[in-house]
Amino acid sequence: MGGPRLLLLLPTRTYRTEDFIDAARKLGVDLVCASEKPSTLEDLAPDTLLTLDFADPEAAAKRAAAWSAGRPLAAVVGVDDATAPAAAAIAERLGLRASAPAAVDATRDKYQMRQCLAAAGVPVPRFRRIALDEPPLRASRGVEYPCVLKPLALSASRGVIRANNADQFIAAFARIRALLQRDDVSVAGDAARYLLAEQYVPGLEVALEGLLTKGHLHTLALFDKPDPLEGPFFEETIYVTPSRMPVAVQDAIRSAAAAACLALGLTEGPVHAELRLNDDGPWVLEVAARSIGGLCSRTLRFGTGLTLEEIILRHALDWPIASLERERRAAGVMMIPVPRAGRLDGVRGVDDAKAVRHVEDVVISAHVGQTLVPLPEGWQYLGFVFARAETPADVEDALRIAHAQLRFDVA
Amino acid sequence: MSEGTDLKSRVQELIDTMINPAVAGHGGYVELIDVQDNRVYLQMGGGCQGCGAADVTLKSGIERLIKEELPEVAEVLDTTDHSSGTNPYYTAGKS
């Protein structure tokens, strides 16, 4: 309290709350938290708790502007995909630092993003938008195989399915259509009416974590994804940084990500890009106007120990950042996948996993009694394993060994 | 009554009269564990334990309220084992 006032947009179900609140606390800002549903304490703490409709960025901006009339805001930060458009709209209305709303909106619609990138000459898979009310058999005739079907707006591989032939296409089509009608999925507009079918691009996958400042992309970390992502679903598991790719390949990845940001019009704040690599070079699969998801940011430390969240908040506040250089040691995370559908009855082996050399922490984020839903319908991880070592290979080994110690009782 | 005991009882009163009636709306409750050196140690239970929004509730709600009412409080610390929560009001996940 007493520092500049910073508005954090925190969905009620995000993994990112603790790390962003810790960062805000370290910076000494006057923190205001907004969620899409009212806090039980909002009436008692109206200066620090706010409800905003993240699904309607213009309404959120209007509400935030009215709220801030007597409480000026120095910065606004959305912590994930769901809040990025509202944060951009609020920033534009209040003259705060952020990318333009149109640019952020383009990242939230995979079809719009593909169109924008393709028009700028950024390598992207060939793609086609298909109406969900189109007969799937007819739609299946217009694509080349193998292909990947995906919703326009969901994150973290949810609803992403590979199809190698028309039968698989029809099954995937029906599955995505059903997914978009689930109670725990909230999509509207085109995202509720269409899906994207695109060319399957073989190759290795990487993730680039970056920070945009006045249109310049600084690469904060480049993660290898050593587990093959070949479908039928695309479950993300291990991320390890620094990348073991040749320097020239890493440079090509950075250039492709920067070109993608430029094409989309993104200029400020964190970006998370996913790319595939093969003999044709890097292909841009996704660019999101947010930082890395889950608890994965805990792998990253910069300069004298800054967290990724501190960097993001400092950037939003236009505060100096001593260094954007990641620490020298290798680091990685394993997002623990849901093995099968059911009810989580218990977790064993956590202490054994924590005892594995180079493992820093094991966080089980699912709770006993929780209903587990695997991909492609699922939207949660069981938890996260973190490791740090001298080499990326040591990190990867540690993550795999630690994961092998864990036993999840699913009934 | 010592100063520390007095502060503890005033924090308890805030929890009883303002905080718990509010968080009960989500099936949650807050217990005062201790007050030491003007630091308040709390534990969250019910719907608050393991809740994806527990940090927001604590830092932007509970701590703010306590500090406003009792400016001598330096910090409010959460001692909850959130990983043991079996009925969180909001479960974290990908958006």
Instruction: Report chain A's terminal Cα–Cα distance, integer Å.
Output: 47
Same domain, A133 and A170: yes
Residue A183's pLDDT is: 87
A246 cis-preceded (ω within 30 degrees of 0): no
Residue A281 lies in a domain: no
- Report yes or no: A346 and A368 within 8 Å, Cβ to Cβ: yes
- What is the value of ipTM here, to two decimals? 0.87
Residue B91 lies in a domain: no
- Rounded Cα distance between A107 and A113, Å, is 6
- If one counts the domains in chain A, the total is 3
- Rounded Cα distance between A198 and A204, Å, is 17
Same domain, A130 and A83: no
Q: Which range of residues forms the domain containing residue B14?
A: 3-84
What CATH number is given to the structural domain containing A38? 3.40.50.20
CA distance A293 to chain B (A): 7
**Beta bridge partner(s), residue A306:** A302
**Which amino acid is present at A221?**
A
Residue B94's pLDDT is: 55
- Report yes or no: A370 and B83 within 8 Å, Cβ to Cβ: no
Residue B90 lies in a domain: no
Residue A195 lies in a domain: yes
What CATH number is given to the structural domain containing B30? 3.30.300.130
Q: Which of A148, A181, A199 is the last residue of a domain?
A: A199
B26 touches chain A (CB under 8 A): yes
B15 touches chain A (CB under 8 A): no
Pairing between β-strand A161-163 and β-strand A75-78 as defined by DSSP bridges: unpaired
Convert the pLDDT of each residue in A249-273 to its tens digit. 999 999 999 999 999 999 999 999 9
Query: Alpha carbon B91 to chain centroid distance?
Result: 19
Answer whether residue B95 shows pLDDT above 50: no
- If one counts the domains in chain B, the total is 1
Question: What tens-digit pLDDT sequence spans chain A (411 residues)?
Answer: 579 999 999 999 999 999 999 999 999 999 999 999 999 999 999 999 999 999 999 999 999 999 999 999 999 999 999 999 999 999 999 999 999 999 999 999 999 999 999 999 999 999 999 999 999 999 999 899 999 999 999 988 999 999 999 999 999 999 999 999 998 888 889 999 999 999 999 999 999 999 999 999 999 999 999 999 999 999 999 999 999 999 999 999 999 999 999 999 999 999 999 999 999 999 999 999 999 999 999 999 999 899 999 999 999 999 999 999 999 999 999 999 999 999 999 999 999 999 999 999 999 999 999 999 999 999 889 999 999 999 999 999 999 999 999 999 999
Residue A156's pLDDT is: 81
Residues of A with CB under 8 A from a CB of B: 1, 10-15, 17-18, 21, 25, 31-33, 35, 39-45, 47-49, 80-83, 155-156, 158, 293-294, 363-370, 379-381
Pairing between β-strand A269-278 and β-strand A204-213 as defined by DSSP bridges: antiparallel
